[in-house]
Amino acid sequence: MPLEVEPGHAVLLHNWLIHRSGINPSPVPRRAFTACYMDGRTQSTPTGNHFPLVAGSLPAEPYPFVRQMRDEAEQLRQMREESERYARSLEEACARPASPGPCGSRCGSCWVGADDFTRSPKRTAPTSTC
C-alpha cells in the first residue's frame, strides 16, 4: 500500500513494520533517522548495562520476574556450594583411616570378618590380631 509523503515531511513507523521505499529519482539524497524507544529497565545482554535514558529515571525495583530469577540463581548457587562441600566431606572421609576397631587401633585388622554394613564385629573371633 503506497504512502506518498510531501517533500520536507516525515513518517513515523514502528520498528517491526516491514517497509521499503522506491528508487530515489532526484539528485538529492534521502535522509533517514532511526530511533528505538525501550523501557528504561532494558539492559544490554552482553554487558548488562542500561541504555541511555531520554526522559525519566530508572525504577527502583526490576520487573518481578527479574527479581525471581535472581533469587532462584542465588538458591542454585547455594545448593551447588552445599553439594560441593558434601562431596568434599565424602572424599575426606574415604581418605581417612577406618574408625577404631574393637581393639582401639585404626589398623583395620580386627575388622576382618566384621559385618560390612554396620562395621561392627561379628560374633566370630577376628582372623588376625593387632
Mean pLDDT, 10 residues at a time, the chain of 130 residues: 86 87 88 82 85 82 80 95 93 73 60 50 48
* pTM listed for this prediction: 0.34
**String of b and e for 91-119 (b: at least 16 CB within 10 Å)?**
eeeeeeeeeebeeeeeeeebbeebeeeee
How many C-beta atoms lie closer than 10 Å to residue 120's C-beta? 10
Q: For residue 82, what pLDDT is reported?
A: 96
Question: Which pLDDT value is given to residue 61?
Answer: 72
